[in-house]
Structure 1
């Protein structure tokens, strides 16, 4: 389906009934990725709740425009799409660049975000290992020759010069990233689950910092050894998991995220 959003001919999909009593889940793909890249996530979550997924500017089936790219603009696009669909509140899961967009959505449109799940995402540029920016800065059209990214772009814009311009904008967006302050992170109202891999492009220290700024850590639980209620924030660090690998870790992550979205009480075994 398509919707005119902020000057974009934005492509999106809805899986399930938005009129149901379940809170919809908005999925936001990563850099250069379209809705197809989230197919396994969509299928797994759509079993229990409506799922919305969309292609960001220049991604997948959404053509690029002369408009400059920013996480803030992408978040505003997501908000406009939710409002156009009549969705007053959605839970949001974003991967990589999509996770950064999800953070901006929670900051700029807090009334629209129920729960927040940034996966392999950062809130500051220094959250990435320095080599990530170096690699992004070296990207060229040759690196995408014959790839699904190039093919999807060529279907709606068969102009090599337009693809080159898109890549340059994406390089600037992802190399410069975003700079969300600590106070802004603390101000987010949505309960948050932070997810990274231990071999991710995101530094583990940054993920822990995000977790703490979102209210993570429970001294009462530390003292008693037990959780009495769902925590304010959750942190998941998957072992032997890379930045690309985590995008396919649905079998492990979907049950964890589902428990978070559903407010499933934390289990406490009988030990004594």
Structure 2
């Protein structure tokens, strides 16, 4: 069930499902909580899964003034506090993985473990050129459908374009009753373009799994590998044949992988406790 909750930083729309150890899902650019539908459905038999709309996405209003990744991490911390979650397995993808990095750095006690999907710690020239194109494409595309069809070339596999998956996602996005405005897309994009935690990642203490899609052109695996190399003890894995959002394209495989990681974290905690 979804609900607008009041936090100490304002109202934030939250979806919660299931019972068990707490999992916080942090979405990326433009994606509302529903982007995690396959995890809300597929993991809630074992976990209490919480997803939320970032500011300027879905039902959470766009703030006044410039946005920042540390500011969005404060929103994530506020969600955990408002829901009285002392610590959660935090999973973020793309821009949401940047938010998750800042959350782990700024509020380490709230982060039981980290899964960083399609992640990066510092943007490069290719990334800045790509996202610069996205910025003006949102404004100048002939219509929303054309914008989505172009944008999704960076997001999903050729397989998903061929088998109708992307067509379905386009239709679902167009039918979503809380569309993101061009202004919100652009303002949310900017802080991710300048995200830089590279020299601070060594301070992260949470057990970390970094996942990259073999075919991801939006956040190429070289960027994820760089993140894993900087976080002490982090594990880096490439998902063969996958692109930017495998949690949507191959949810059963993805859910099984993160579930296995969280079980490992629990086993490690038990060994420490004993």
The alignment's TM-score, normalised by the length of structure 1, stands at: 0.78
Cα distance change, pair 133–7 in 1 and its aligned pair in 2 (3 A): same
Residue 214 (structure 1) aligned with residue 212 (structure 2): no
- Between structure 1 and structure 2, the one with the greater Rg is 1
For residues 190 and 127 of structure 1, what CA distance do their matches in structure 2 show? Answer: 30
Deviation at 1:193, TM superposition (A): 0.3
Q: How much has 1:129 moved relative to structure 2?
A: 4.2
Secondary structure of 1:58's match?
A: coil
Aligned counterpart in structure 1 of residue 187 of structure 2, from 147, 154, 169 = 169
Q: 1:7 to 1:115 in 2, by over 3 A?
A: closer
Q: 1:14 aligns with which of 16, 37, 59?
A: 16
**Unaligned regions of 5+ residues in structure 2, if any?**
146-169, 269-274
Residue 84 of structure 1 and its aligned partner are, at CA, apart by 0.9
Contact 1:8–1:57, Cα closer than 8 Å, also in 2 = no
- 3-state SS in 2 of match to 1:178: coil
Aligned equivalent of 2:221, options 197, 204, 223: 204
Indicate the structure with greater helix content.
2
1:1-272 mapped onto 2 (5 Å cutoff):
1-17=3-19, 22-126=20-124, 129=127, 131-141=129-139, 143=141, 145=144, 148=173, 151-153=176-178, 163-174=181-192, 176-182=193-199, 184-200=200-216, 201-215=218-232, 232-245=233-246, 247-263=248-264
Higher mean C-alpha deviation, range 124-133 or range 106-115: 124-133
Take 2:37 and 2:103, find their aligned partners in 1: how far apart are those partners? 22
What do you get for the CA RMSD once the two structures are aligned?
2.5
* Structure 2: distance between partners of 1:151 and 1:256: 29
CA distance in 2, matches of 1:187, 1:27: 22
Shift of 1:130: 5.1
Q: 1:247 to 1:126 in 2, by over 3 A?
A: farther
Deviating above 6 A after TM superposition, structure 1's stretches of 4 or more consecutive aligned residues are none
Indicate the SS of the match to 1:139. Answer: helix
Distance 1:45 1:246 in 2: 12
Match of 1:223 in 2: none
Q: Which runs of 5+ in 1 are unaligned?
A: 158-162, 216-231, 267-272
How far apart, in 1, do the equivalents of 2:205 and 2:189 lie?
31
CA 1:237–1:127 in structure 2 vs 1: closer, same or farther (change >3 Å)?
Answer: farther
Classify 1:110/1:137 alpha carbon distance in 2 versus 1 (closer, same or farther; 3 Å): same
